[in-house]
Structure 1
């Protein structure tokens, strides 16, 4: 019964799309293209003029559009050609590898807009730090954002003490966040959502501190106000990015 209903809904959606397209081609429906946000590839001059605060506001605004399904119209073929020889991204985002967290989409960004570093549990190591240094010191990005997310498998595994191949070693980078999470009541397992949320946030805070402690380049840029280093948590249920203080 459910399969038949799904097939019917899918067929109805396809029919509606064909009908709308035909009406647009016939001119019976007019699209207000002035209301569509179109974002061009950033130039070196435009990147240089941005402040870290500007970039943070743009990421916030992009996430609001993502949540509303009001995404920017982009000509990807044009953006590919425009960024072939150089890139001037606004930020670098450290995210988890989770397939349900599409970073560029979450912030409504396109080709050439942001660097993205991904590792399960969004923790820093020398390779990630080197990537952040390249993104900021060499390529001019103005913001470093560490973004965790709810329902993170790596966080769950670190909490529950999973041991499996190289995953065991990887989880050692997350376990300190588990140990420092002491405010939540109830069992200290991945079944306790409040505890998991606390660990997710502490993992973000800890890695922000690690960035400042383990990279003299990023710390100096931060102290001079050339970049900002922020944290956030992506809510899997709503698509909202919650920026941390």
Structure 2
């Protein structure tokens, strides 16, 4: 299989109706892309490396930015996925209404596991879900997606206290202290907020590795990859950290 330096598009939409042999042929430009009509199959997902999965997600974001997203047939995806699911990645993202992972990555039904929680923080329930997604269901990538102008990060910077939100924001406060920033360190300064959000993504990845032996072992073996990204709500772009 090709590594992360591949220049061709191995997104799920280009693998959809191709056999394993045809995929190899497509890798050298022998086949045109095919239209998206159904959910990802086990064979198609398993043929992809973690690097190829990451590339397919970033390619999907490029389609989203350009307004060239695939015309999803959601009913077809629902029908073809009802007997089983084979997502290629699990996304941990924020609940912010402006940052829906499947949409900004141009994904359809059956392609992604998606956990959403304010501030894209980790906890034992999310870790258990990720362990299922990877060790049991076979996802190849864990992607933690932060975003710009994050209200949860602002709340952590401002030391907001309100019911159960207090303990959630406490999970982000370590990122506030560990963020190196020369400007004004206030919740009103979005440059600082975004800097903290990036630190928070990295710390969340560290927490996942630290608190899940299952995920840590899968990463060590090269079975999966963990990656952090930031979504910019001003231009729609997802960037690797």
Distance (Å, rounded) in 2 between the aligned partners of 1:74 and 1:171: 36
Alignment of 1:1-245 (within 5 A): 37-38=35-36, 40-181=38-179, 183-244=180-241
TM-score w.r.t. structure 1 length? 0.83
Distance (Å, rounded) in 2 between the aligned partners of 1:82 and 1:35: 20
1:92–1:114 contact (8 Å) kept in structure 2: yes
RMSD: 1.4
Aligned CA distance change for structure 1 residues 99 and 165 (closer, same or farther; 3 Å):
same
Larger radius of gyration: 1
1:36–1:73 contact (8 Å) kept in structure 2: no
1:60–1:107 contact (8 Å) kept in structure 2: yes
Distance (Å, rounded) in 1 between the aligned partners of 2:34 and 2:67: 12
**Residue deviations 1:66-98, cap 9 Å, x none?**
001111012111111111120000100000000
With 57-66 and 41-50 compared, the bigger mean Cα shift is at 41-50
What secondary structure is seen at the aligned counterpart in 2 of 1:173?
helix
Structure 1: runs of 5+ lacking an equivalent: 1-33
What secondary structure is seen at the aligned counterpart in 2 of 1:94?
strand
What secondary structure is seen at the aligned counterpart in 2 of 1:100?
coil
Shift of 1:38: 2.3
Distance (Å, rounded) in 1 between the aligned partners of 2:51 and 2:206: 20
Aligned CA distance change for structure 1 residues 237 and 162 (closer, same or farther; 3 Å):
same
2:127–2:212 contact (8 Å) kept in structure 1: yes
Shift of 1:35: 8.8
Distance (Å, rounded) in 2 between the aligned partners of 1:233 and 1:93: 12
Shift of 1:158: 0.2
Structure (1/2) with the larger helix percentage: 1
Alignment-derived partner of residue 19 in structure 1: none
Structure 2: runs of 5+ lacking an equivalent: 1-31
TM-score w.r.t. structure 2 length? 0.84
Shift of 1:40: 3.2
With 209-218 and 187-196 compared, the bigger mean Cα shift is at 187-196
1:148–1:201 contact (8 Å) kept in structure 2: yes
